[in-house]
Chain A
Amino acid sequence: DMKVTQMPRYLIKRMGENVLLECGQDMSHETMYWYRQDPGLGLQLIYISYDVDSNSEGDIPKGYRVSRKKREHFSLILDSAKTNQTSVYFCASRGQTHSGNTLYFGEGSRLIVV
Chain B
Amino acid sequence: GDQVEQSPSALSLHEGTGSALRCNFTTTMRAVQWFRKNSRGSLINLFYLASGTKENGRLKSAFDSKERYSTLHIRDAQLEDSGTYFCAASSNAYKVIFGKGTHLHVLP
B25 contacts the other chain (CB 8 A): no
B86 and A105 form a contact (CB under 8 A): no
B contact residues around A105 at 8 Å (CB): 35, 42-43
B67 CB → nearest A CB, Å:
20
A35 and B98 form a contact (CB under 8 A): yes
| Interface size range on A against B | 20 to 34
Given contacts A31-B94, A108-B42, contact A101 B100 (CB under 8 A): no
A107 and B40 form a contact (CB under 8 A): yes
The CB with the most chain B CB atoms within 10 A, among A58, A90, A103, is that of A103
Given contacts A42-B100, A100-B31, contact A48 B95 (CB under 8 A): yes
B96 and A107 form a contact (CB under 8 A): no
The B contact surface, by secondary structure, is strand
Nearest chain-A residue to B31 (Cβ)? A100
| Interface size range on B against A | 20 to 34
* Proximity bits, A5-33, B CB within 8 Å = 1, else 0: 00000000000000000000000000101
A37 CB → nearest B CB, Å:
8
Nearest chain-B residue to A49 (Cβ)? B94
B contact residues around A64 at 8 Å (CB): none
Complex-state Cα separation, A102 to B12, whole angstroms: 29
B41 and A100 form a contact (CB under 8 A): no
Q: Name 7 extra pairs, CB < 8 A, besides A94-B96, A101-B90, A110-B41.
A: A40-B9, A43-B86, A43-B98, A90-B43, A99-B47, A102-B45, A102-B48
Q: Give me the interface of B with A, judged by CB distance under 8 Å.
A: 1, 6, 9, 31, 33, 35, 40-43, 45, 47-50, 86, 88, 90, 94-101
Shortest beta-carbon contacts, A-B, top 4: A42-B100, A43-B98, A105-B43, A100-B48
* 20 A-B pairs in the complex with CB atoms less than 8 angstroms apart: A35-B98, A40-B9, A40-B100, A42-B98, A42-B99, A43-B86, A44-B98, A45-B96, A45-B97, A45-B98, A50-B94, A99-B47, A99-B48, A100-B48, A102-B33, A103-B45, A103-B88, A105-B43, A108-B41, A108-B43
